[in-house]
Amino acid sequence: MTGKTFAFFPEAAFGPALNSVGIAQAVEARGHRAVFLSDPGFVPVYEGYGFEAHPVALSEPMEPEAMARFWEDFINGHIPNFRKPPIEQIDTYVKDCWSAIVDSAKWAQKDLPAVLARIRPDVIAVDNVILFPAIKQFGVPWVRVISCSENEIEDEAIPPHLSGMPETDHAGHAAFRARFNEVIDPIHADFNAFLAECGEEPYPLGQFCEASPFLNLLLYPEAVKFARKVPLTPPRYEYLEGCVRKEAAYELPDFAANADGPLLYVSFGSLGAGDTDLLKRIIAALGRSRYRALVNVGDYMDAYAEVPPNVHLAAWFPQPSVIPQVDCVIHHGGNNSFTECLYFGKPAIVMPYVWDGHDNAMRIEETGHGLRSPRYDWSEEELFARIERCLTDAEMQARLAATSARMQAARGPEKAARLLEGLVT
């Protein structure tokens, strides 16, 4: 088969971006060309992995540094709202986020036709929560990638996206959906007006994207997926069991204390790293423990003057090379951390703050692959008790081992590459 061009357009966040990198690596290994359509601030990320990247404006023009920090500043401005339960975040973080996402789709429509005409892709894979009409209308197969929680594709029998609710709380599901639709209505009406301008039919209230008629790839592992009223079945829907990218090897640092203690990895992602008060509290607690810890502090290294001898800080870690070496992970429920812990069979304590982190935290506990923890309302004793349970719970460890074996055998990136290739053969 002659090499084809596969374009990837992930959301401007490291979770979707790095999952798409994993698929793109597998696409190139099959002899094809993989290129990225990118928020200008993320172009260096893809280029750093050796890919060609084409900027697409998703907001008004601004300096490159400001562009790169847009979502980081957005998240930091909402830190007080992280203490609220998901249904109370609808009026604050969720509303503001959807407003920004709709604006990004409008801006993208200005650039996408020309960028696509220049690249001439044979297939376009989009990992985003909103429709880009230019991609749907370009005339080649387009694929929707769902790297966030599986409930991004709604079903009346499962918890609504972003709610963080248990499967059985059907009254809670209804209340969350009603509140979401009430708050989001004017933003949704604005989006439907934009769709009409682009010659597209309006979406039902609450919906901002649609399933692709060609192929939809879900990164959610089978072991944690929901029991839907309407199952998502092949060939239109395919579960990938994660898409873990290839990273350079990571050599563990030497620790000046607790050299033989269990090793933890703590990361709230590049955006959550701005919650420095929380990370300082965790670091201080771990400094009084028997553990060792690697802690991702993002761009905020200067905020940490004193670091315990059993803790090592870094601005970034190659997670797929780090997680296999640790005993337990504390993270925010982002899709990368969530699937990578399952892929490598590592228990996790999830302290969510926004978006699908709430859903993933609930799901990891409901399915017995880890524990959910309040982000702020915990004591040192409670934190240590959760860590010890993750380290010693034989049933949890066995379940993680089985899930890991299944995910690794599935070879998600390679499966995705084959499925994408099948759209042009």
* Tens-place pLDDT, residues 333-355: 998 899 999 999 999 999 999 89
CA angle 59, 63, 69 (to 5 degrees): 70
CATH number assigned to the domain comprising residue 316? 3.40.50.2000
**pLDDT score, position 72:** 72
Is residue 127 included in any domain, yes or no?
yes
- Beta-strand (E) ranges in 103-245? 123-127, 142-146, 215-218, 237-239
Is the same domain home to 100 and 55?
yes
Helix/strand/coil for 255:
coil
Domain match, 73 and 173 both: yes
For residues 128 and 92, state if they share a domain: yes
Which residues in the chain come in under a pLDDT of 50? Answer: none
**Which pLDDT does position 71 carry in this prediction?**
66
Same domain, 395 and 418: no
Residue with tokens 């702020």, as numbered in its chain:
376
Predicted confidence at residue 68, as pLDDT, reads: 60
Q: What is the percent of the chain with per-residue pLDDT over 90, rounded to a whole number?
A: 86
Let me know whether 44 and 172 are in one domain: yes
pLDDT per position as a tens digit, 73-130: 777 788 788 889 999 999 999 999 999 999 999 999 999 999 999 999 999 999 999 9
Q: What distance in Å separates the CA atoms of residue 343 and residue 31, rounded to the nearest whole number?
A: 26
Output the pLDDT for position 373: 97
Residue at token pair 């690249």? 119
Statement to judge: residues 59 and 203 lie in one domain = yes
Residue that the structure tokens 């220049």 belong to? 118
What secondary structure does DSSP assign to 321-368, as a single string?
A: HHGGG-SEEEE---HHHHHHHHHTT--EEE---STTHHHHHHHHHHTT
Co-location of 196 and 269 in the same domain: no
Domain hosting 323: range is: 263-408
Specify the pLDDT at position 67. 64
Q: Do residues 236 and 286 both lie within one domain? A: no
Domain count along the chain: 2
